Amino acid sequence: MICLIQNKQDYNNDLRAMIMAFFPGVKITECSREEIELKTAGLEKTAEDMEFVFEACYEDACTALKLYHIPDKDFHKKIDGDYRDRESFRNKLKLSAYHILSEYTGRRLPWGDLTGVRPTKIAMKQLLDGKSHEAAVKHYMDIYDVSRRKAELAVKVAGRELMLTEDIDLSKDYCLYVGIPFCPSRCLYCSFTSYPIEAYRDKALVYIERLKEEISAVKNMLGDGRRLVSVYIGGGTPTSISHELMDGLLSHIENTFDLSHIKEYTVEAGRPDSISEEKLAVLKRHGVTRISINPQTMNDKTLKTIGRAHTAAQAEEAFFLARGCGFDNINMDIIAGLPNESIENMEYTLGRIKKLAPESITVHSLAIKRAARLNEQINEFGSHIHHDTDRMLDAVSEFACESGMKPYYLYRQKNIGGNLENVGYAKEGCECLYNILIMEELTDIISVGAGASTKLTFHEENRVERVENCKSVDDYMERLEEMLDRKRSLCSVSP
């Protein structure tokens, strides 16, 4: 347990994120000084229950940070400046908190004090302002204490994103996301809206029918003059539904939208145990250009631990089946830092994937999400995760380079061990435009389905508005009109 004391709540999220970067999964409790005194006196809990106390005392001209409850030593810093001036003060606070935590743990994080999900936004702005590659790299290092290696990665990705999106019309172009929240089973680390297909098979037909209604409704809201440039069907695992339901859904999308401008059409096949020749044939017939087959690891023991009902061999079989059906743009997802996995396990996974020669690979650093079973079982798995994660990311980077792939998008999630990142690598021409557009929030993402989040961009005002759909499948089917009303309200003020 970590106790957090603050006399103001203005930067609560920033401090929590910084602490969690060093201590993913550890409980952070808001306390008062009186409660700390009780705890350390043993009247409520013994001192051993507490990792440390992190205190922030904000005053008009100076803020004091202190980390204590360590025998014979405490760590502290003073920050000059008015805490109410958020623009100039926020990074000073985060950087000071980072340095205190770094001194306490004896560790430096490769991304320094950056905790946001889109670290490439900084590089994007630098490059658009005419700064050189090296100047942008130095900006990361000097202002945020980012390592040169990660700064180079961010700037390289930002440059590639700018190139890949240069012909996107931000005022007209948009993406369509279709959510199918069913899976063969729920993985240990998963926090997405996902329901076991076996339990919901009878409701899947009704769900798809309601989904079609929402698709028709949002097309009417958009009106004419807009260009759909990307369709992305995700989940869950979209291929959990039958090939007949998939056929009907894709036919409805074709009949509703003008697909003549789309640059890509992606379906997350995802789980190898959900893939069949019939489903692949349906996807191919409807013009799907890119699919994902996601083993996460090629180690069977780990697959069993994380709740995947397939083997590494089945992942390979699904991949070859897709190749046989004519798919020439296949992505594979893997996760770094899974329970009990080491750098050797990652190298084994990459060795098997190398023989398959996918067009792209996406590596995710394991994040301990609040809604995931992994968070509930953190006492069981906590000491067996996040080993060698940064070395694993380096191994994937080397593999991608050897395979002719370049990094093209990068993002992070909350509670990633080591404050690390997720990176997509792809061969030339095989990048996923949707991944870039949603991560950089460059254009509208119209999303349908349970748990889907529509994002409308207002570039002149530098803001993004979101409309969330109900996460529950049952609520989604019963309350669709309510969600459509929220979308209509926002679309009426969208340019």
**Sheet of strand 52-58: strand arrangement:** 28-30, 2-6, 52-58, 62-70, 73-80
Q: How far is CA 405 from the centre of its chain?
A: 21
Domain residue extents for the chain: 2-105, 120-162, 173-338+358-364+432-489
Question: How many residues are present in the chain?
Answer: 495
Q: Give residue 46's pLDDT.
A: 47
Which of 350-354, 355-359, 446-450, 460-464 is least confident? 460-464
Question: What dihedral do alpha carbons 484, 489, 491, 495 form, nearest 10°?
Answer: 180
- If you write DSSP's letter for every residue of 265-277 in order, what string do you get? EEEEEE-GGG--H
Residue carrying structure tokens 């002149």: 460
Among 414, 451, 485, 438, which residue's Cα sits nearest to residue 192? 451
Measured CA to CA, the distance from residue 55 to residue 105 in angstroms comes to 17
Q: What is the CA radius of gyration of the chain?
A: 24
Q: Decide if pLDDT at 368 tops 60.
A: no
* Percent of the chain with pLDDT strictly greater than 70: 89
Measured CA to CA, the distance from residue 282 to residue 267 in angstroms comes to 11
Contact yes or no for 50/40 (Cβ under 8 A)? yes
Options 3.40.50, 3.80.30, 2.30.110, 2.60.120; CATH for 173-338+358-364+432-489 is 3.80.30
Burial class (CB in 10 A: 0-12, 13-18, 19+), 493: exposed
Report the 10 Å Cβ neighbour count for 78. Answer: 12
Which of 97-111, 250-264, 282-296, 369-383 is least confident? 369-383
Contact yes or no for 178/232 (Cβ under 8 A)? yes
Q: Please write the tens of the pLDDT for every residue from 189-236.
A: 555 556 677 777 889 999 999 999 999 999 999 878 899 999 999 988
Q: Please write the tens of the pLDDT for every residue from 292-306.
A: 999 999 999 999 888
